Structure 1
Amino acid sequence: MPGPVMGRLRRLLPRSLMARSVLIILAPMLVLQAVALQLFYGGHLDVISRRLAGGVAGDVAFVAELIRREPAEQHPWIFREASWRLDLALAFEPGARIQGERRPSMSILPLEEDLNNALGERVRARFDTDWQSDPRSVIIRVQMPDGVLHVEAPRKRLFTATLYLFVIWLVGSALLLSGVAILFMKNQVRAIRRLAAAAEAFGLGRDLGPIKPEGASEVRQAAGAFNRMRERIRRFVGQRTEMLAGISHDLRTPLTRMRLGVTMLPRSPETEEDLAALTQDMEEMERMIAAYLSFARGEGTEQARPADLVELVQDVAAKARRSGAAVEVAAPGKLALPLRPDAVRRCLGNLIDNARRHAQHVSVAVETVPRTELGGPGGEGQSLWAQVTVDDDGPGIPAADREGAFKPFASGRPDGTGLGLAIARDIVRAHGGDIQLEESPLGGLRARLLLPV
């Protein structure tokens, strides 16, 4: 099936851009060299090997025929002439017989097969070749009527320097082109990695400044577009912050005058209850305005810096205790992370305040957990999460309504503004993490906060 085959091929391909680019560059070159090598083996080397083997086999057959025809007193002269003129070392073993089968030892090259074929055509007797006993010679044994003729032929007569030069050229060119391709693609991929790192850092609130365009023209174009986008976002956030600061002032000023006016009104038993209710309404309005502005403003202007998550949790828990809440904290001594402290403090405060308003007991735990246990968002290769769990023994939120509780102005509680969880999730996701709502072991609601370490 095409689908499963393509799926297996995709799994075999490297995942990184650099490895894929190098593979695209080197694969055609390797295929071309493989074709050239095949043509060399099937053409030039094959012809040369047969000719060299035929020459050695012809000399051996000629010497064997001379020994067979000439009387024994002429054999020393034949041995001497063969050593001098043919570069063959001869020895004769009277009464010996060739036993066993030939054992192939150089199957990679066609030399042994070509030599055996040539000897079979020219030597009209049983023979044997030994490629293993001597690394510099090939020992050929020929069965004679009264013994065995041993012939040592130098291997250089069967080899050609073209083979070594061709192999060196193939391997050297492959290594040279591989090195050039890797260096070239490394420089190109470095620019893409810097762009990805800058985008990731900017998305997590760590503004590292504009990046320097480098690399190919397309990568430079992408870097320039990122720098322009970064400036537009910063300008938009700054304008929105200034606008919201003015709105905050415009809304709080009338409330302050109303509070001052209520305070100066004459008190009487008949109006005391109405004035208390009016004061409570104004306080509720101030709280709602602060929550709305906090949600709209976010924490975009604060820069991330190393901060102790445990210290932030302890500070927020201590503030809640001063308000009369029963909050327990279980945490290690220290856990330093790149955070926007004010934003995280606001997030933790929303979670703990949400829990203590609807429960008698609140428990907070801080720990690090492996990413494989919980999954969740984060960059590839992220191995650890900093986990903060906020448990309470209140009524909780039904499982079907938990995700909806994160929507702005959709409160899962009867007396909430519907922004606490929305603000908390917005802050945590800006740090590259997330918040999950679950059933608490205490019987109420558990808010699980995850931050990348």
Structure 2
Amino acid sequence: MRLRGFGLEKLVRRLLPRGLFGRSLLIVLLPLVLSQAVALQIFYGNHLNELSRRLAGGVAGDVAFMVDDLSRDPSRQGLIIQEATRNFGFQTSFLPNEVLRHLPPPDAPGPVDQDLAHALSHELDRPFNVDWNNLPGVIVVNVQMPGGVLSIEVSRKRLFIGTFYLFLIWLTGTALLVFGIAALFLRTQVRGITRLALAAEAFGMGRDEGPIRPEGAIEVRRAATAFNRMRERLRRFLAQRTTMLAGISHDLRTPLTRLRLALAMQPGMEPQDHADMISDIEEMERLIAVYLSFARGEGSEQASATDMAGLLEDVCTASRRGGAQVALSAPQGLVVRLRPEAMRRALTNLIDNAARHGSHIWVTLPRPADAGARSFRIFIDDDGPGIPAEKRETLLKPFESEQPGGTGLGLAIARDIIGAHGGDLRLRDRPGGGLRAEIELPL
């Protein structure tokens, strides 16, 4: 039972609309359609069945009356047919020496064909059939008589009532009208939520597209207003932090510059000691630049359409100039909206990290599997010793480098930048040995 219930629940989830608009529309329309179907079945369905039986019984009675008169006195055939035409509205003809033929199924809507056949069977004591299909607006009742076939044309209006169709049109029209009004109203409400979700996702990926206009229900307007306020506060925070870090960078580099000048003006210092102190100052300047880069991020850069193959080629070329052995495989034509300078920094950090551990590096940009793909990947492989699986997550955190003199910020900065683009950075074993850095980014 549990498995059956789980399967049914899974089927219902698959059939239900996934979006808020579709589900809201279903909540509005399903009770309306069910209530109208119940009303049609209970009230008008019973009435229609009863009316159909009575109309069919009336036609069958008139046909039986005329057939009985003809059976009693065949010599008065012409007079009886005239009287039936005047009183019953029949168009009657007698086909001598004919026999009943097999007829196709009727095209009559509802139960009227069965009701008429049942009534004729009850009223007549001889073979008959009913032709529903040959003449428009007319049905033909054929009765087998001793000398041939009596063909009686009966107007369909005697068996159908127009109010049924009016009632059906009214039900369908009101349902469509309510559907249209509900769809317009719900689309307006859902549009505000959709815009809020898209704006939040874009802002989280570094695409600041400006404040959104509050619209829809009051709760949706409040959420949009709160998002705009949050966005403005974050922008002010980033601007203040950037200004503060620029001041710190200036304040720290000024004494280092004075130390460098003081060392240059020391005539009696040993050349080796002088070179070591200059190297220490340069290392301090590099560390300051790395720390500030990590803390500042790239929040002020705006996203733009970027050719990934061209960006990877630039990064690999710069790494080759630094002495790294980098091979690139990247198809042309993949254009992605991202922050190019920030992504350049992330890719450079990953390639530099690979160069410190391996002698050869392979950068691969596979083409997305299909046109509807929502993400793409970049692989950066090296032939180094690799990283044990239990240490990979730790090394993606700041200040967790195991290399002598390392800051532990290269991988952390790369992961932070990739995460800000809505992507993910994972470290895996490279097929054939070494480490693979796998980048996944949204299209």
TM-score normalised to structure 2 length: 0.90
2:391 aligned partner: 401
State the secondary structure of the residue aligned to 2:219: helix
CA deviation string 1:270-291 (max 9, x = no partner): xx54444443333332222222
Q: Distance in 2 between matches of 1:200 and 1:148?
A: 80
State the secondary structure of the residue aligned to 1:369: coil
Q: Distance in 2 between matches of 1:235 and 1:56?
A: 87
1:446 aligned partner: 436
Q: How does 1:40-439 map to 2 (within 5 A)?
A: 40-70=43-73, 72-94=74-96, 98=100, 104-106=105-107, 108-145=109-146, 147-269=148-270, 272-333=271-332, 335-370=334-369, 382-385=373-376, 387-439=377-429
8 Å CA contact 1:368–1:384 kept in 2: the answer is no
8 Å CA contact 1:311–1:334 kept in 2: the answer is no
How much has 1:268 moved relative to structure 2? Answer: 4.6
Amino acid at match of 1:413: Q
The 1:304–1:142 alpha-carbon spacing in structure 2 relative to 1, beyond 3 Å, is same
The 1:361–1:226 alpha-carbon spacing in structure 2 relative to 1, beyond 3 Å, is same
1:17 aligned partner: 20
8 Å CA contact 1:392–1:442 kept in 2: the answer is no
How much has 1:218 moved relative to structure 2? Answer: 1.8
State the secondary structure of the residue aligned to 2:357: coil
1:376 aligned partner: none
How much has 1:428 moved relative to structure 2? Answer: 1.2
8 Å CA contact 1:389–1:447 kept in 2: the answer is yes
Once the two structures are overlaid, the 10-residue window that deviates more, 338-347 or 434-443, is 434-443
8 Å CA contact 1:361–1:393 kept in 2: the answer is yes
Within the candidate set 5, 10, 18, 2:8 is matched to 5
8 Å CA contact 1:93–1:149 kept in 2: the answer is yes
Q: Distance in 2 between matches of 1:371 and 1:434?
A: 20
2:37 aligned partner: 34
Q: Distance in 1 between matches of 2:195 and 2:204?
A: 14
List runs of 5+ in structure 2 lacking aligned partners: none
Amino acid at match of 2:160: F
Amino acid at match of 1:26: L
The 1:98–1:388 alpha-carbon spacing in structure 2 relative to 1, beyond 3 Å, is closer
8 Å CA contact 2:331–2:367 kept in 1: the answer is no
Once the two structures are overlaid, the 10-residue window that deviates more, 219-228 or 333-342, is 333-342
Taking only aligned residues, the RMSD between alpha carbons, in angstroms, comes to 2.6
Q: Distance in 1 between matches of 2:309 and 2:268?
A: 48
CA deviation string 1:111-164 (max 9, x = no partner): 012212322333344433232333422222334455543222111110111122
How much has 1:88 moved relative to structure 2? Answer: 1.0
8 Å CA contact 1:53–1:111 kept in 2: the answer is yes
Q: Distance in 2 between matches of 1:440 and 1:413?
A: 20
State the secondary structure of the residue aligned to 1:209: coil
CA deviation string 1:164-199 (max 9, x = no partner): 211211222222222222222222222222222211
The 1:63–1:334 alpha-carbon spacing in structure 2 relative to 1, beyond 3 Å, is closer
The 1:442–1:362 alpha-carbon spacing in structure 2 relative to 1, beyond 3 Å, is farther
Amino acid at match of 1:237: L
How much has 1:354 moved relative to structure 2? Answer: 1.5
Q: Distance in 1 between matches of 2:87 and 2:57?
A: 17
How much has 1:293 moved relative to structure 2? Answer: 1.5
Q: Distance in 2 between matches of 1:149 and 1:335?
A: 81
Q: Distance in 1 between matches of 2:378 and 2:117?
A: 79
8 Å CA contact 1:370–1:383 kept in 2: the answer is no
State the secondary structure of the residue aligned to 2:302: coil
How much has 1:445 moved relative to structure 2? Answer: 2.2
Q: Distance in 2 between matches of 1:56 and 1:356?
A: 98
Q: Distance in 2 between matches of 1:180 and 1:365?
A: 52
8 Å CA contact 1:359–1:395 kept in 2: the answer is yes
Q: Distance in 2 between matches of 1:335 and 1:121?
A: 79
How much has 1:21 moved relative to structure 2? Answer: 1.5
The 1:441–1:415 alpha-carbon spacing in structure 2 relative to 1, beyond 3 Å, is farther
Q: Distance in 2 between matches of 1:200 and 1:217?
A: 22
8 Å CA contact 1:369–1:384 kept in 2: the answer is yes
How much has 1:365 moved relative to structure 2? Answer: 3.3
List runs of 5+ in structure 1 lacking aligned partners: 373-380
How much has 1:299 moved relative to structure 2? Answer: 0.8
State the secondary structure of the residue aligned to 1:149: strand
The 1:328–1:157 alpha-carbon spacing in structure 2 relative to 1, beyond 3 Å, is same
CA deviation string 1:212-252 (max 9, x = no partner): 11122222111111101111111111122222222222322
8 Å CA contact 1:370–1:384 kept in 2: the answer is no
How much has 1:56 moved relative to structure 2? Answer: 0.7
Equivalent pairs, count? 440
8 Å CA contact 2:138–2:153 kept in 1: the answer is yes
TM-score normalised to structure 1 length: 0.88
Amino acid at match of 1:294: S
The 1:93–1:83 alpha-carbon spacing in structure 2 relative to 1, beyond 3 Å, is same
Q: Distance in 2 between matches of 1:13 and 1:136?
A: 44
The 1:263–1:40 alpha-carbon spacing in structure 2 relative to 1, beyond 3 Å, is same
